[in-house]
Chain A
Amino acid sequence: METGHKTDTGVSVDIRNISLSYGKTPVLRDVTLAIKPGEFFALLGPSGSGKSTLLRLIAGFNQCQSGTLHVGGTDITNIPPWNRNIGMVFQNYALWPHMTVDQNVAFGLEERRLPRTEIARKVAAALELVGLADFGSRRPNQLSGGQQQRVAVARTIAIEPKLLLLDEPLSNLDAQLRLHMRVELLALQRKLGITTLFVTHDQEEALSISDRVAVLDGGVIQQVGTPMDLYDRPASAFIANFVGTINVISGTVTATSSGAIFESPLLGRVPLPAAVATSGSAQVAFRPHTLSLAPPEGQTAPGTIRIAGTIAGREFLGEFIRYNIAVQGNHLIADQPHYSGNIEFLPGSAINVGLDPTQLTLLPT
C-alpha cells in the first residue's frame, strides 16, 4: 500500500484476538488488526459498534477479557494508562478548566518530571505547532471550540507519544471548521510522522483523510482497506451502504470458465468480470451515480442494460438530483449530475435506466 510519507518515527500497532464485554454484552469480538508505522488509520462504524471502546482499550481505559495488544512490538496489554505514552485527544477535549492553556499543555511534562526550562520550551513549541503561540495564559473557557481542540492536540503531542489516538476529533466543531480542521490534522500528522488512529462515525471524514479504514459493526471488524477499496469493493451490503449510497439486487450467480454470470428478473443475464467459487443465490451492487437516465423514446448507450421504470420521487441535492425509480416492484436510486438547464424528470413520468455492467460489484455471501 502506498502511503507516501515518512514512516521512520511511527510505530506499528498489533491488535490480536481481542474480546471485551460489559457484563454479558459483548462489545468487541475477536478483533484482530494490524496498523502500519506512520499510518493515518480510521476506525469507522455506527454508534455502538465498539470503535470508541477499541480506542479506549488501546489507551488503557478498558481492559480486554482476552487477546493481546502490541505497540511498536512491545506487549502493553497490562500496562496502566499512565505508563503507556500513548497520546489521546478526547471527543470533548477534556481541557482542565482550573488550569491555563500553558498549564494544561505542561501537565504531562510535569508528570514526567522534566526540568522546568525544558517544559517551558516544549510547551511553547507545541503551542507554536498548532498556531496558538500567544494563547498560553488564557483559560480554556476563553477559547473557541476550534482553539480548544488545538490546545487538546498540543497537550497530547507535547509528551511526544509513540501513538496518537483521536476520539471523534471533529464531531464537536461546526461544518465549516470541520473541513478545515481535518486537513490541518492530516498535515500535522504527516509532519510528525506519528502513527495515528482516529474514530469516526462519519464516512466522508474517514474516506477523505485516512490511509486505511477499518469498518466495525457489532464489535466485529467487517472490512479493512483503503478508502477506495471500501467504496469500490465493499465486502458486504452493510459496508456498501455505510460508505455511501448503493443499490443492491438479489439473484443467482453461475460460475463459468471465463468468469461468472449473474441472473435476476430485473437485470436478466449479466456477465461478471470476477470469477466466483460457488454458484447459487447472490447479490450485486452498484452506485447511484453509475446509472444513466433517458426518456422512454431516447437511445441507451450500447452495452448497457436497459431497465424501464417510473420516477417515484426525487431530492435536489445541489451537485446532483437523486431519483427514486420504481422498477418491477423494486426501487432503484439514481443520481444525475445537475447543471442549470439540465433535463429534469418529474415524478410519475416513465423513464429508461441505463446500467453499465462493468460497474457491478458482486457482494460476497
Chain B
Amino acid sequence: MNSRLSFAHAAIALAIAAFLALFLVVPVITVVYVAFTNSDGSLTLSHFFSFFHLTLMREAFYNSLYVGGMSVLISSIIALPLAYFTVRFQFRGAILIQTLGVLPLIMPPFVGAAAMQLLFGRSGSVNLLLNEWFGFSIPFMDGLNGVIFVEALHYFPFILLNLVAALANIDSAMEESAQNLGASGWRLFRRIVFPLAMPGYLAGAALVFLKVFDDVGTPLVLNVTNILAAQAYLRITSIGIDDPIGYVASVIMVIAAVVALWGSTWVMRGRDYATLQRGGSSLARRRLKPWQALWAYGWIVLVLLVVLAPHLGILLLSFSKVWSYSILPDTYTLDNYVTVFRDSSGMMVNTLLYCGIAAGLDVILGIAIAYLILRTKLPARQWLDFIATAAIAIPGVVLGIGYLRTFKDFQLPFTDEPFTAFWLIIAIAYTVRRLPYALRSCMAALQQLHVSLEEAAENLGATKNRTIYRVVVPLMAGGILAGFVTSFLTAAVELSATIMLVTAQSDAPMSYGIYLYMQSIAGRGPGAALGVIAVITVGLGTYFSNRLIRNHAASRDAQLLKTGV
C-alpha cells in the first residue's frame, strides 16, 4: 500500500520536474550556454568582451541599473509615508491607501506610458499649464526619466503592501518595551520600528527592481531603446536568433535579478522578524493632530492624482479623436472602441484562452507541488519548490529567447509548423512565469490546514485520494482561487515573453495588441481603448475574486484559529 502510494507521488514529482526542466531550466541554460560558447561549441568570454566593447551596450547596461535603482528610490519615497500613515495612525485614509495600492497593479506600465506622455511629456497637459502660468516646464518624461517615472508610479505598491504587512506584524510590546526603557519619537522609529520592518521593505524593493529590469514594453512605447531588455529584444528580433550579443544581455539580466533577490535575503539572513506573538496586538494607532491630518491627506491626494493619471489618461485617450499639443483632447468619439471590437476581438479570445490555460496549469502544479512538499517525505522534494520559484528571477524576454533557441528545430507532429510558432508556447511561458504566485497561494493554503483534519478523514475510512478530494481541496479552495486569479490576471497583461513569442497577428493576445497599436500615433486611440477593456476586465476580476475569497475565508477564520494548535 505504502510503496504504491510513494510510487504515485514519485511519478507525479517526476512529471512536474520534467515540465520545469523542459520549459524553464533547459531554455535558461541554453541562453547561458550560447552566451559563453563560440559557434564551434568551445567556451569563450569573447561575446562578453564584444558586448562591453559596444558603446550602445555599455550604455544600456548602465541605464538599466540606473533606471532600476532610481525606480526603487522613487517608489520608496511614494510608499514609505503611505505605509506609515496606514499602520500608525487612525484615520479614514487607510482604506483609500489600500485601494490605491492595488490600483496600479491592474494596469501594466506600458499601457499607461503613452497616456503619461500626453499628460506629463514636454508638450503634455501638465507642462502646457506650467508653461502658461509660470513660464517653465519639468522634463518628467524625457528619456530615462519617463521610464523611471512610469515604472515607479506603477510598481510602488509592491513596496507599500510589503511594508504595511511588515509594520502590521510588529508586536506592540516591541514598541512599548522600548518606550518603557526610555525611547520615543524619532529614535524609537529609527532603532525599533524601522529595523523590524526592514525585511518587508527589502522584499518589496527587490521585487520593484526585478520588475523594472524585466520590463521591455514601457521603454519601447516611450521610444527608449538603450536599455538591456529592449536591446535583448531588438538584437534577437532584428539581427537574428544566432546573435550572441542578445544572449549576453540576457545573461546579464538574469544575473542582476538573481543578485537583487539574493542580496535582499542575504542582508536579512538569520533575521526572521515575524514578531507578532499569539494573542499579541499590532502597533497602537494614534490619532492624528489636525495639522498632521492635513499633511497626510495632502500627500495622499497628490499621490492619488499622479497614480491615477495613467488610468485617467488612457480613458481620455480612448475616447479622443485627436490629442496632441493640447491640455485635453479636442474631439471625442467612440470610434476607437468600434475599431477595437471589429479588428481585435480575436486578441481578447486569445487572452482568455492563454491565461485560462496558464492559470489552470498553475494551480494544478501549485497544489501538486505544495502537497508533495508539505505532506510527503519524498527525497529532494524541496527542489520542485526551489526551481518553480526561481522563475521569478528569469525575465520574460530571456525566457522567450530561451524558448526560441531551445525549440527552434522542433517541428510539431503531423504539421510542418515549428513549435516556436505554435500559440501554446505563449500559454506555457505564462504558466512558467506565473507559477511562483500560484504556488505561494497553494502552499499558504495547505500550511494553514492542520494535518489532523486529514488524519481524521483517514481515521474515519477515507483513503488518501478520497481525503484530498473531500477535505484537502475544499479547504484549500480560497487559496486555490486566489492563486488562479493572480496567475490569470497578471498573465493577461504580460508583455515581455509575449513580445518574443508572438509570430502571427492571429495568435496575439491583448497585451501584444495594445503594444502594437501604441507603436503608431494613429493607433494610440484604439490601443487605449483596448487598454481600457483590459484594465476593466482585470479590475473586475480582482474585485470579484477578492470578495469571493473574503467571504470564503471569513466563514472559517474562527475555526482555523481554534484548530490551529
Contact = CB atoms under 8 A, between A and B. Distances in A.
Interface of A: 59-61, 63, 78, 80-88, 90-98, 107-108, 111-112, 139-141, 145, 148, 155-156, 159, 172
A82 B466 CA distance: 10
Contacts of A90: 452, 455-456
Contacts of A140: 559
A230 to B, nearest CB: 28
B456 A139 contact: no
A111 B474 CA distance: 17
A94 B456 contact: yes
B461 A159 contact: yes
B459 A87 contact: yes
B19 to A, nearest CB: 30
Report, as a range, how many residues of chain B touch the other chain: 20 to 34
Given A82-B462, A93-B563, A111-B460, A98 B474 contact: yes
Interface string B524-565: 000000000000000000000000000000011011101111
Contacts, number: 95
B563 A94 contact: yes
B336 to A, nearest CB: 47
B352 interface: no
A81 B455 contact: yes
A108 B458 CA distance: 9
B460 A141 contact: no
B562 A141 contact: yes
B2 interface: yes
Given A94-B450, A96-B453, A97-B475, A141 B459 contact: no
25 contacts: A60-B458, A61-B458, A80-B463, A82-B466, A84-B459, A86-B459, A88-B456, A92-B563, A94-B452, A94-B453, A94-B456, A96-B456, A96-B457, A96-B471, A96-B475, A107-B460, A108-B461, A141-B558, A141-B559, A141-B562, A145-B562, A148-B562, A156-B459, A159-B461, A172-B565
Nearest to A88: B459
Given A80-B2, A95-B559, A111-B461, 12 more contacts: A59-B455, A80-B458, A83-B461, A87-B460, A91-B565, A92-B564, A94-B450, A94-B563, A96-B457, A96-B471, A139-B555, A139-B559
A97 B460 contact: no
B1 interface: yes
Given A91-B565, A97-B475, A141 B452 contact: no
Among B461, B466, B560, B564, residue most surrounded by chain A Cβ atoms (within 10 Å): B461
5 tightest A-B CB contacts, nearest first: A108-B460, A97-B559, A141-B559, A111-B461, A94-B456
A156 B457 CA distance: 10
Instruction: Pick from A85, A141, A148, A172 the residue with the most CB of B within 10 Å.
Output: A141
Interface in B402-454: 450, 452-453
Contacts of B459: 59-60, 81-82, 84, 86-88, 156
A141 B559 CA distance: 5
A143 to B, nearest CB: 10
Contact of A63 (B2, B452, B460, B462): B2
A95 B454 CA distance: 10
A87 B2 CA distance: 21
A80 B474 CA distance: 23
Interface string B376-420: 000000000000000000000000000000000000000000000
Contacts of A61: 455, 458
Interface in B1-42: 1-2
Interface centre among B452, B459, B463, B475 (most CB of A within 10 A): B459
Interface of B: 1-2, 450, 452-453, 455-463, 466, 470-471, 474-475, 555-556, 558-560, 562-565
Contacts of B560: 97
Contact of B461 (A95, A97, A112): A112
A159 B453 contact: no
B1 A80 contact: yes
A105 B132 CA distance: 76
A91 B452 contact: yes
Contacts of B556: 97-98, 141
A265 to B, nearest CB: 49
A81 B458 contact: yes
Contacts of B466: 82, 111
Nearest to A145: B562
Which of A85, A108, A148 has the most B CB atoms < 10 Å from its CB?
A108
Contact of B463 (A59, A82, A112): A82
Contacts of B450: 92, 94
Contacts of A159: 460-461
B452 A92 contact: yes
Contacts of B455: 59, 61, 81, 88, 90, 94
Contacts of B558: 141
B457 A107 contact: yes
Nearest to B475: A98
Nearest to B452: A94
A94 to B, nearest CB: 4
A82 B461 contact: yes
B335 to A, nearest CB: 50
B6 to A, nearest CB: 12
A98 B476 CA distance: 10
A108 B466 CA distance: 11
A172 to B, nearest CB: 8
Contacts of B559: 95, 97, 139-141
Nearest to A98: B474
Contacts of B555: 97, 139, 141
Nearest to B552: A98
Nearest to A148: B562
Contacts of B458: 60-61, 80-82
A41 B450 CA distance: 27
Contacts of B471: 96
A59 B453 CA distance: 14
A21 to B, nearest CB: 14
A55 to B, nearest CB: 11
A82 B460 CA distance: 6
Contacts of B460: 82, 87, 107-108, 111, 155-156, 159
A335 B562 CA distance: 39
Contacts of A87: 459-460
Contacts of B461: 82-83, 85, 108, 111-112, 159
Contacts of A98: 474-475, 556
A237 B470 CA distance: 49
A11 B462 CA distance: 23
B478 to A, nearest CB: 10
Contacts of A78: 1
Nearest to B463: A82
A130 B503 CA distance: 68
A138 to B, nearest CB: 12
A200 to B, nearest CB: 16
Most A CB within 10 A of own CB, among B453, B474, B564: B453
Nearest to A106: B460
Contacts of A94: 450, 452-453, 455-456, 563
Nearest to A80: B1
A19 to B, nearest CB: 18
Contacts of B562: 92, 141, 145, 148
A210 B369 CA distance: 44
A127 B2 CA distance: 35
